[in-house]
Structure 1
Amino acid sequence: MNTFRYRKRSAVEATLLTVVMMCVREWEEVVLDDCDVFVVVSQNGRCRITVKLSIRYGAPVLAVCRGLQQQIAEEIAAMTPYAAEAIDVMVKRLVMP
């Protein structure tokens, strides 16, 4: 049996999560129902973002991932005092239309 410990998100984590999801929603190639976002915030004003998502079959996977990374980094820098030291985008699967 697995034991999970629930920890309430901080306001910073919730804000960064919201910024990331705003970016993800703009990409029609991404399946929104199958998207996980993980945020780690450090004390020095930096954060690490991991996005695990599914992409529609036929979409340019590499271009979508690179574009999403760039957009997330720009939006975090513009909307928060944090800088993204890493944005990892992982494709879980390709979804048939």
Structure 2
Amino acid sequence: MNTLRYRKRSAVEATLLTIVMMCVREWEEVLPDDCEVLVTVSQRGRCRITVKLSIRYGAPVLAVCRELQQQIAEEIAAMTPYVAEAIDVTVKRLVMP
């Protein structure tokens, strides 16, 4: 029998997750309902963000991912005292329009 143990998300993690999803929702090329976000926070004021998402077929994938990374980093820096040391964006699939 497998046992899964979930811990409650901290206020910092919830805030960072909200910021990431605000950024994702601004992109019409990205399907926000098929997005997974993992937030890892360190004690030294740093965080790591992993975003797995689906992009509409025909969108400039590399450009969207790079600009989304930059936007997330800038928003985290502007809205929190945290610095994003890594933002990994993975495209799970391309979706036909």
Fold match (TM-score > 0.5)? yes
Partner of 2:66 in structure 1? 66
Q: Structure 2, unaligned stretches of length 5 or more?
A: none
TM-score normalised by structure 2 residue count? 0.97
Q: Percent identity?
A: 89
Paired amino acid for 2:52: K
Q: Which ranges of structure 1 fall in alignment gaps of 5 or more residues?
A: none
TM-score w.r.t. structure 1 length? Answer: 0.97
Q: How many residues align?
A: 97
Aligned-residue offset at 1:4: 1.6
Structure 2: how far apart are the matches of 1:2 and 1:36? 23
Q: Which residue of 2 aligns with 1:3?
A: 3
Amino acid at match of 2:95: V
Residue 33 of structure 1: how far off its partner (Å): 1.4
Structure 1 residues 94 and 2: alpha-carbon distance in aligned structure 2, compared to 1, 3 A threshold: farther
- RMSD of aligned Cα (Å): 0.8
Moved over 4 A (4+): none
Per-residue deviation, residues 14-69 of structure 1 (Å, max 9, x unmatched): 00000000000000000111100000000000000000000000000000000000
The question of whether the paired residues in 1 share the 8 Å contact of 2:21 and 2:32 is answered with no
Q: Secondary structure at the match of 2:7?
A: coil
